[in-house]
């Protein structure tokens, strides 16, 4: 007998089969993938000018209060030199590839 007192609100995700646990875990894993996809999209950092100054002057982590590790100037210089060398090598390789494709093929055989 139909009656307004018999009315039940049922979720559209309600499932009561014998494999309900497996389906629940599957739905949770799908939700996890969707969340990870949303969070993996790069986003621009929005920071106010005053906050940027404080960020650049910070010497310790605001959460754990441990000091930041800053590389020595010599290390920074060596990294810059290595970056420059890698860029030169990439440029050289692209020129060789364009100007002398036969040399590139010969390199592949070695």
For residue 49, tell me if it sits in a domain.
Answer: no
Q: Is it the case that residue 56 has pLDDT exceeding 70? A: yes
Pair of tokens at residue 48: 């106010």
Domain that holds residue 104: 70-110
Residue-wise pLDDT for 61-79, tens only, equals 889 999 888 778 898 899 9
How many alpha carbons fall within 13 Å on the CB side of residue 45? 6
- In this prediction, residue 80 carries a pLDDT of 93
- Number of separate domains in the chain: 2
For residue 22, tell me if it sits in a domain.
Answer: yes
Residue-wise pLDDT for 7-46, tens only, equals 565 556 778 889 999 998 998 898 889 888 888 888 888 8
For the chain, the maximum distance between any two Cα atoms, rounded to a whole number of angstroms, is 87
């Amino acid at each position: 007998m139909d009656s307004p007192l018999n009315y039940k609100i049922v979720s559209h995700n309600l499932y009561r089969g014998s494999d309900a646990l497996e389906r629940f875990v599957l739905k949770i894993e799908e939700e996890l993938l969707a969340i990870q996809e949303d969070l993996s999209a790069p986003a621009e950092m929005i920071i106010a000018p005053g906050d940027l100054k404080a960020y650049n002057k910070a010497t310790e982590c605001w959460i754990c209060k441990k000091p930041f590790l800053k590389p020595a100037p010599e290390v920074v210089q060596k990294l810059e030199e290595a970056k420059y060398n890698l860029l030169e090598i990439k440029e050289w390789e692209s020129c060789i590839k364009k100007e002398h494709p036969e040399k590139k093929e010969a390199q592949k055989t070695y």
